[in-house]
Structures are given as structure tokens and as C-alpha cells.
Structure 1
Amino acid sequence: MNSSQLPPITEEDIVEFLAHTPGFFERHAEVLASVQFTSPHSHRAVSLQERQAEMLREKIKALEQRVMEMVRNSNENAAIAQKVHEWSCALQRVTAPADLPDAVVQGMLQQFDVPQAAIRVWDVAAPYAHAAFAQGVGGDVRAFATSLTMPFCGPNLGFEPAGWLPGGGLAHADGSGAQSLALLPLREGPANSATPAFGLLVLASHDPQRFDATMGTDFLSRMAELASAALARLR
């Protein structure tokens, strides 16, 4: 076979050769010195060493950004944990069970900056059966609350529980009113269990993205469990 019949050398062949010949650049250091690249930043020709330095700086910058993001998330989580702690303590300090629903709602408004909130509890003990928080809950709403194995987040589509909010919970065409909702089922045990719900907590915002359908619900589920544990005193 003459040279004209040999297959052409490909880039893969060169890569494989260099990978299996680690001493090549030690014996031919002048090759490295002559290699030049186009910098993606200045669009000028740079040496291999300069390009490696640029790549290292880019990696360091990316790592710094990740560290900053982790610190920011840590600070946010710490702030949320402190608010949950304060809210839980406030619920424990409530002496009269009949005051618990309002304490839950006020905690949501004050501690977590929720613009609007409302709550209803059913199947309560006789002394609380005529309280405002135990009124106006139909069978469909109860069944809907029981069907929720996690908080519902999404646009205000005229759900009946939205009517419990101040002003009737209407979403207006001009963007005002309750544009997005979070509906938190209240039940004994874990929020994702099949235990029948005994209440529903409604959170609302004029911001359509505040309670978006794609948001995570783990935090809301924990809040529902805490509220449920406190409100169990009404039953």
C-alpha cells in the first residue's frame, strides 16, 4: 500500500496519539510555545498559557458565583426558619382555642408578607360550631380540600374558597385583587396523607406569579401541618 492509499489522519488520531504519548510536549516544548488560540473575550490571538489562564479565571468566577448563591440561599432559609419559629411560638401562646384561626391568618399576613389570607375549619367541637371560621363551607369545598394531597398553587379561577378573602377574593381585569392563590388543606397527620381534611387555609396575592403552579410546595406543606396541629384543639 503506497502513501496515496493510506487513510487521512484525523483529529481523533492526533488526540489519541497525544493521550498515549505524554512525553511528546516535553521533547517538543517549542510546539506548545507556538500554539495560539483566539480569545473569546478580546478576539485576538493568545498563547496556550494565556488561554489556560483565561479558562481558569472563568472557572474561578463560576465557583464564586455558586458560593454566593449558596450563601444567599442559606441566609434566606435561615430567615424563613426564624419566621416559622416565631409563628409557631405565637400559636402556642394562644390560650383560647377560638382565637387560633385568626392567629394562623395573622401570622401569614405579618410574618410571611402574604397580602390576603382566610381560613375555614369544619367538624369542630360544639362550643365553636357557630364561630365565623366554621361557617359557609359546603360539601364540595370539603371534598375538594380532602382531595388535595399537597397545597394547590395557581391563578384565581373563581374557586369558592377565594370568596372567604376580604372583598370576596375577586381577580379584577386591571390586575388588582386576588390574582394567584395557594390553597392549603388542613388535616391530622402529614399534609400528603389521605386523611379527610378538617379545614382549608387560603393565601392570595395580587401578583400572578406569587403562587405560581410551578412553584415548590414543600414549605407550604410544612406550614399546613403546623397550622393543622394548632387547630386540632378546636375539634
Structure 2
Amino acid sequence: MSTSPTGVSGITEDDIAGYLANNPAFFERHAQLLSTVQLVSPHGARAVSLQERQIELLRDRIKGLERKFMDVIRAGQDNEALSGRLHRWTCTMLLAREAQAIEAALIDGLKHEFMVPQVALRVWGLAPEHAALNLSQTVSDDAKALAASLTMPYCGLNSGFEAASWFEPEVPVQSMALVPLRLGKTAAQCFGLLALGSPDALRYQSDMGVELLEQIGDIASAALARLLP
């Protein structure tokens, strides 16, 4: 006849656990057991009472909840700061009247508010009077096709995109984001490309969220649409 881990033939630890779970009044009838049960503390090899062990578990849970709460607070503060930067940048572009002022507000605002080391912008199909703007420089058909094909901003390593040649040569670009500019949602409505670059290879990664970049693209598109015929 086999003996179970409890030392009692035919009765297993699961049987005991099931009995206690289904009979909560057991410890009311045997209250003295609660003061005699000794458990190993997770903070050392010493033995502690059941009550002390429960208190330790509660303390650990409270510490875990406190850490999660602080993470939520920090995330909220970060989101509030981003919202403030986006608001200031948008207001600056709305206040810009002339074409050159719009271009400067867009590029300089992104560099300043979002601490982007490199920002480049190209727009095609501009009204003839805006042909002298820096953003109206020639763009290849391949770059235009790439911009039109993007259903969301591209984030990743600098893989030799034409847009990388638009950046200032003094600052090397390891990672970049490409944000298509559109009047609507279709490829035919794409009229430009906004490029953001960083010497940090981890600044723009393929698995990062692009919600903020999409908002930046929508706002930039709305502002630059004033330069189209």
C-alpha cells in the first residue's frame, strides 16, 4: 500500500487543500492551529507564523500596486507633456501666414518641441509662386511612389532611402521616420513626405507606436495644403 506525501495512506495534499477550501469553518473550530502554523519566510530562512506570512504577502502586493500606480502617473505626465508640445507646435503653424514662415514653423518646431535632430521636408505639386521654397526641391518618382505606398509612418534604420540625402550632412542619421503627407487617405492624394532622423539607432524602431507620428503628419498636411494650387 502506497503512502501519500502527507504521510497518511490514501490522502493527498490536494485532498487536504480541497477539504480546507470547501470547509472554511474548519479554522473557526480549530482556531488554535492558526497560531501554531509555521511557514518559511520569502525574505530569509527563518520560520514565521501564518499571520506574519499573510502580512508579508500583503506588503509585497501593496509595493507592487504602488509601483504600478507610479508607472501610471509617469505615463500620464509623459502624455500630458507630449500633448502640450503638439499643441504649441500646431499653434505656431496656424499663426504662420507666409509660405516660408509655414515651412520654418513646421521644421524648427519639430526640432525644438520634439527634440528631433534632423528634419527634412519635400512637397510636390505646389503652386508656382512657391517654387523657390526649400521644400519644393526635386523629388524622384521612386521617392514619390514610396511616400504614396506608406499606409502609416515608416520607422526603422536608415536603409539608404533618398530622403536620408535631404538631411544636413553634419549630423549622421542611423534611424529615421518617414511620414507621408496627404489631403485624404488614398495614394493619389499624397503630395509630400516628412522625414525625421536621429543619430541614435534606437530612436525610431519598427515596433514602436506611430500614433503621434500620424497626428504630426495630419497636422503638417493640413498646414501645407495652403501652399497647393
Offset, 1:214: 1.4
Is 2:172 aligned against 1:177?
A: yes
Q: CA deviation at 1:129?
A: 3.0
Which one of the candidate residues 68, 78, 81 is aligned to 1:79?
81
How much has 1:42 moved relative to structure 2? Answer: 2.0
Query: Pairwise mapping of residues 5-84 of structure 1 onto structure 2 (< 5 A)?
Result: 8-84=10-86
Unaligned runs of 5+ in 2: none
CA offsets per residue over residues 36-83 of structure 1, 9 Å max, x none? 111111221111111100010011111111111111111111111111
Q: Which moved more, 1:148-157 or 1:6-15?
A: 6-15
TM-score (ref. length: structure 2): 0.92
Aligned residue in 2 for 1:97: 99
Q: Is the 8 A contact 1:188 1:195 kept in 2?
A: no
Cα offset, 1:14, TM superposition: 1.1
Give the root-mean-square deviation of aligned CA atoms. Answer: 2.0
The alignment status of 1:228 with 2:221, answered yes or no, reads yes
2:134 to 129, 132, 144: 132
**Contact 1:98-1:234 at 8 Å conserved across structures:** no
Matched residue, 1:120: 122
Q: How far is the alpha carbon of 1:142 from its aligned partner?
A: 0.6
The worse-fitting range, judged by mean Cα deviation, of 49-58 and 124-133 is: 124-133
Matched letter for residue 218 of structure 2: E
SS at match of 1:167: coil
Q: TM-score, normalised by structure 1?
A: 0.89
Q: Alpha-carbon deviation of 1:194?
A: 4.5
- CA distance in 2: counterparts of 1:3 and 1:75, whole angstroms: 62
1:195 deviates by 5.0
Q: Which runs of 5+ in 1 are unaligned?
A: 169-175
In the alignment, the residues of structure 2 paired with residue 59 and residue 30 of structure 1 have an alpha-carbon distance, to the nearest angstrom, of 27
Aligned length: 224
CA contact (8 A) 1:186 1:199 kept: yes
Aligned partner letter, 1:179:
Q
Give the letter aligned to residue 127 of structure 2.
A
Query: 31-40 or 151-160, which moves further after superposition?
Result: 31-40
The amino acid that maps onto 1:187 is R
- Equivalent of 2:190 in 191, 197, 208: 197
- CA deviations on 1:165-206 (whole Å, 9 max, x unpaired) are 0018xxxxxxx710110111111135xx54531111110111
Give the secondary structure class of the aligned counterpart of 1:40. coil
- Whether 1:110 aligns to 2:108 is no
Alpha-carbon offset, residue 7 of structure 1: 7.0
**Cα distance change on mapping 1:195 and 1:57 into 2, 3 Å:** farther
The yes-or-no answer on 1:186 pairing with 2:160 is no
Identical columns (%): 46
- Greater shift, 13-22 or 46-55, is seen at 13-22
Cα deviation for residue 20 of structure 1 reads 1.6
